[in-house]
């Protein structure tokens, strides 16, 4: 094994949390949790990826305990004793297999459609009533509702620590609620949660601060962000490097322990084709631990999955090794490749990349 691959599989100290390597399982919605309770297979599903060599697992999105958090069927939450017991089993299985695990806390915001169960009368919550630029189609949150949600994130973070998770990741990406506050094209508030980049980041900052203050010093609280939105793949929180640096500094000042930066293709620079990617910019701006993600090990990005072109081939990881070797970012999250092959990390480490099982849509539809 060459020196570059050794970096991918070297230990990493996330400010006191020791990870056996730099491989992260990316959060991926599975829709296998009727009534918010993960199915009995969930502990095995996550444990298989830990057994397969993943150093850190980030769960599928777990809905925060708010009546408008849900936007998709059969997603998990933390509200019932049955759900909590199942997540405790997941955590225990992952820890027994020498991996760490974070819970991703998620609120879909305006993505929620009218009539969505389990509370069909509840609208989608947004900063200003917009899901994309144009017409108001959802609920504009009051100041009191913002404060309520900050408290809910804080309380759910505490629940995660009590269940044994090593940390939480606040989902602030992909056009969901927190990202809707970031996005100036749909956040038109005229109070302290709208306007400048500092104000538009205030909701996320106060969630991070509240979650950190409600948990122990060693418990990790970080955030996932993206420039692109599922409503607009070309949208950006910040279109200039100095504004993006300011944004990341705000998250650091709020107490974020790490930043997980979502690219559709991790090898693409944010402002220049060969420049730093989003995670690289975050690391340079803050010095925080950073996670990169985006089509790792695959020959097409996830959007093709929803356009019928779902079959993939595995690809060379040379660019990944080069970026890690240059310390552009600290950790790399792997998504679809881990759905099709739980042993992806071990195979890469052992030089058996030609034996990796390629991803296709069937691995989304089944729970292996």
Taking CA 169 as the corner, what is the angle to CA 335 and CA 128, rounded to the nearest 5 degrees? 105
Q: What is the mean pLDDT of residues 82-94?
A: 98
Give the pairing of strands 167-174 and 56-63: unpaired
Predicted confidence at residue 2, as pLDDT, reads: 52
CB 337 within 8 A of CB 314: yes
Q: What is the mean pLDDT of residues 330-357?
A: 95
Q: What is the mean pLDDT of residues 203-221?
A: 98
Q: What is the mean pLDDT of residues 175-183?
A: 98
In angstroms, the CA 72 to CA 35 distance is: 12
Q: Classify 34 as helix, strand or coil.
A: helix
Q: How confident is the model at residue 310 (pLDDT cuts 50, 70, 90)?
A: low
Give the pairing of strands 56-63 and 100-106: parallel
CA atoms within 13 A on the CB side of 311: 0
For 220-343, where are the alpha helices, taking DSSP H only? 241-253, 278-286, 318-325, 336-340
Taking CA 261 as the corner, what is the angle to CA 36 and CA 14, rounded to the nearest 5 degrees? 85
DSSP 139-178: EEPPHHHHHHHHHHHHHHHHHHHHHT-SEEEEEEEETSHH
The one catalytic residue in 72, 176, 233, 306 is 176
CB 34 within 8 A of CB 125: no
Asked whether the whole model's pTM tops 0.85, one would answer: yes
Question: What are the tens digits of pLDDT across the range 251-261?
Answer: 999 999 999 99
Predicted confidence at residue 119, as pLDDT, reads: 84
Return the minimum-mean-pLDDT range out of 79-83, 94-98, 292-296, 312-316.
Answer: 312-316
Nearest CA to 170 among 183, 189, 157?
157
Predicted confidence at residue 299, as pLDDT, reads: 61
Take residue 180 and report the two structure tokens written for it.
Answer: 């809707």
- One CATH from 3.30.230.10, 3.90.1150.10, 3.20.20.20, 3.20.20.70 for 3-289+317-335: 3.20.20.70
Checking if the pLDDT of 194 tops 70, the result is yes
Take residue 198 and report the two structure tokens written for it.
Answer: 């500092």
Question: What are the tens digits of pLDDT across the range 260-271?
Answer: 999 989 999 999
Between 297 and 246, the more confident residue is 246
Predicted confidence at residue 274, as pLDDT, reads: 87
Q: What is the mean pLDDT of residues 104-115?
A: 95
Predicted confidence at residue 301, as pLDDT, reads: 53
The domains of the chain are located at: 3-289+317-335
Predicted confidence at residue 312, as pLDDT, reads: 66
Q: What percent of the chain has pLDDT over 90?
A: 87
Predicted confidence at residue 118, as pLDDT, reads: 78
153 is catalytic: no
CB 336 within 8 A of CB 312: yes
Predicted confidence at residue 333, as pLDDT, reads: 98
Predicted confidence at residue 306, as pLDDT, reads: 45
Q: How confident is the model at residue 75 (pLDDT cuts 50, 70, 90)?
A: very high
């Amino acid at each position: 094994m060459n020196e570059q691959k050794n970096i991918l599989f070297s230990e990493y100290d996330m400010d006191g949390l020791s990870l056996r390597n730099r491989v992260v399982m990316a959060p991926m919605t599975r829709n296998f949790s009727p009534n918010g309770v993960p199915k009995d297979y969930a502990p095995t599903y996550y444990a298989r990826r830990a057994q397969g060599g993943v150093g850190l697992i980030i769960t599928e999105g777990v809905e925060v305990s708010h009546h408008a958090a849900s936007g998709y069927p059969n997603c998990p939450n933390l509200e019932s004793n049955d759900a909590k017991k199942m997540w405790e089993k997941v955590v225990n299985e992952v820890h027994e297999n020498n991996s760490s695990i974070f819970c991703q806390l998620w609120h879909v915001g305006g993505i929620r459609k009218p009539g969505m169960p389990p509370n069909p009368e509840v609208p989608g919550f947004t900063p200003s009533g917009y899901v994309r630029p144009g017409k108001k189609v959802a609920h504009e949150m009051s100041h009191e509702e913002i404060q309520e949600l900050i408290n809910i994130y804080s309380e759910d973070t505490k629940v995660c620590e009590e269940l044994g998770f090593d940390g939480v990741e606040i989902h602030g990406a992909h056009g969901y609620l927190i990202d809707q506050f970031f996005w100036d094209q749909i956040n038109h508030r005229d109070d302290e949660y709208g306007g400048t980049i500092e104000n538009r980041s205030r909701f996320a900052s106060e969630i991070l601060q509240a979650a950190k203050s409600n948990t122990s010093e060693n418990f990790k609280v970080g955030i996932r962000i993206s420039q692109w939105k599922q409503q607009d793949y070309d949208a950006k929180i910040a279109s200039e490097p100095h504004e993006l640096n300011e944004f990341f500094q705000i998250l650091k000042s709020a107490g974020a322990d790490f930043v997980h930066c979502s690219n559709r293709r991790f090898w693409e620079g944010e402002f220049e084709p060969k420049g730093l990617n989003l995670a690289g910019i975050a690391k340079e701006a803050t010095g925080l631990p950073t996670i990169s993600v985006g089509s790792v090990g695959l020959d097409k990005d996830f959007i093709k999955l929803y356009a019928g072109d779902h079959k993939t081939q595995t690809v060379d990881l040379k660019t990944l090794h080069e970026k890690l070797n240059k310390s552009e970012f600290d950790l790399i999250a792997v998504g679809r490749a881990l759905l099709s092959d739980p042993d992806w990390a071990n195979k890469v480490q052992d030089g058996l990349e030609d034996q990796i099982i390629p991803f296709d849509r069937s691995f989304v539809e089944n729970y292996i």
